[in-house]
Amino acid sequence: MEKRKLGFDGPNVSAISLGCMSFAGNYGNALKSECFQCLDMANDLGITFLDTAELYGKGYSEELIGEYQFSRKKKFHIATKGGIIVGGKRGENDNSEKALRRSLEGSLRRLRVEYVELYYIHRRDLSIEIEEVVHTLTKFKSEGKIGGFGFSEISPSSLRRAHAVSPISAVQNEYSLWTRYPDLGMIQTCLELGVCFVPFAPLGRGMLTDTFPNPSNFLGTDTRKSNPRFLEPNFSPNCKHISTFRKFAHSRGWKTSATALAWILDQEKHIVPIPGTKNTLHMKEWFESTKIVFSEDDREEIKRILPVGFAHGDRYSDEQIIGIERYC
């Protein structure tokens, strides 16, 4: 698989990497055997980079990855995250050095490693200036605990402030054909500064696939259950728009998910999407995206079918968006 640089001094990682939030059961029960099969498939497909967080299952996703690497004698590049108070209310974040050190050391213990390639601030604690947080992260790097550091769901202006203190390796924000907010400055700022942009939910939380999710089947842990785009009157028109995109992909002999990922890879070379799943068949579909080459006509047709702003409903509810930096 094609490799892309993880920031200015990070390793080269697979252009498509694996998000491991679903290992924690956020989208339904996750069996250890299923998760291990996905990690086996990642190895087979040449996926070299995993994304997890202390928050995912209160560390369970990290524990699974650590157990897998130990038992299989396999080694991935790993990114994990801290800064959210696990078990706290939404928006309760702590970016103090004491809290971040405790979180990072817990993550390393669960992952059974002494070092991770990338450590993100999962959400900013606005009571602490971002420059101070960067100083804390540079300490962790000098101590050999992390290779690089970044932030999730921040604004371009915050990225510039942080980068002025010490080079930032990566920013992780939501980005897909139905969530284009980063096009309003974040992707451009990352490219300018040499920062890797890592889109989460690159398949629109399961919408940009060959089978639409059924909201009536969402479990209580599924964040889509209260997401405006999955509620009526928004869900039906969203399905209608994406059905047209699906027909386009099939007319070209491509899977919908592969086409959606190929579109992201086609934007810029500093972008590394991290789709997530518990299904190895989905992963095989993703791999096909690396073989898709768009013509100019393809690009124009995708733009016509799914124009910027086509999605009905906000990407988060008012409660879900707490702690996320907005801009523009």
Could you list the active site residues? 56
β strands within the chain, DSSP E: 3-5, 12-14, 18-19, 49-51, 77-82, 116-121, 146-152, 170-174, 196-200
The helix-helix angle for 186-193 and 156-165 (nearest 10°) equals: 20
DSSP 276-317: B-S-HHHHHHHHHGGG----HHHHHHHHHHS-TT--SS-SS-
Closest CA to 243 of 181, 287, 306, 286: 306
Question: Which residue in this structure is represented by tokens 């016509």?
Answer: 304
Closest CA to 318 of 233, 236, 226, 234: 226
Q: Are 171 and 33 in contact (CB under 8 A)?
A: no
Distances 221 to 26, 46, 208, 267 between C-alpha atoms, Å: 5, 31, 21, 32
The helix-helix angle for 32-45 and 60-72 (nearest 10°) equals: 60
The helix-helix angle for 60-72 and 97-111 (nearest 10°) equals: 40
Using DSSP, how many helices (H) and how many strands (E) does the chain show?
10, 9
